[in-house]
Amino acid sequence: MKVEMPIILISIENDGFHLMIKAKINGSKVNLLIDTGASRTVFDINRMKNIINFDKSEKNERMSAGLGTNTMESQIAMIDKLEFSKIKIKKYPSVFIDMSHVNEMYESIKLPLIDGFLGSDLLLKM
């Protein structure tokens, strides 16, 4: 399936760019960075607390790597509805990590806060 979606170029202090898309999680608007090197899409657990029900979440037994650290704990919880462009995914089991270090950096250079990283698991669906 080929899907077109608007990509927002975010300039990182005149030293490169990040690619961002707008999406919706359970009806709430979110910002996702495109990460072609990520095998799995991940979301910021802190920014998702008002959007996702973590009552039935479980600790991910596999440690996540990347995002400037060797290993980090993660949770798995269900996203009831994930939408971007014309793609709508229901009941998507998702990985949630603490991305506060990313958002602190973004905030310090006055960029929009990030709710997650769109990885190859979802990029392949486009």
Domains of the chain: 8-123 (2.40.70.10)
Task: Catalogue the E-assigned strands of the chain.
Answer: 8-11, 17-25, 28-34, 42-44, 58-59, 64-66, 69-72, 75-84, 87-97, 116-118
Residue 47 pLDDT level (bands cut at 50, 70, 90): very high
pLDDT of the residue at 1: 63
Q: State mean pLDDT over 60-89.
A: 73
What confidence score (pLDDT) does residue 51 get? 92
pLDDT surpassing 90 at residue 15: no
Among the residue ranges 15-19, 22-26, 63-67, the one predicted with the least confidence is 63-67
In this prediction, residue 71 has a pLDDT band, given cuts at 50, 70 and 90, of: low
Average pLDDT of the segment spanning 47-71: 67
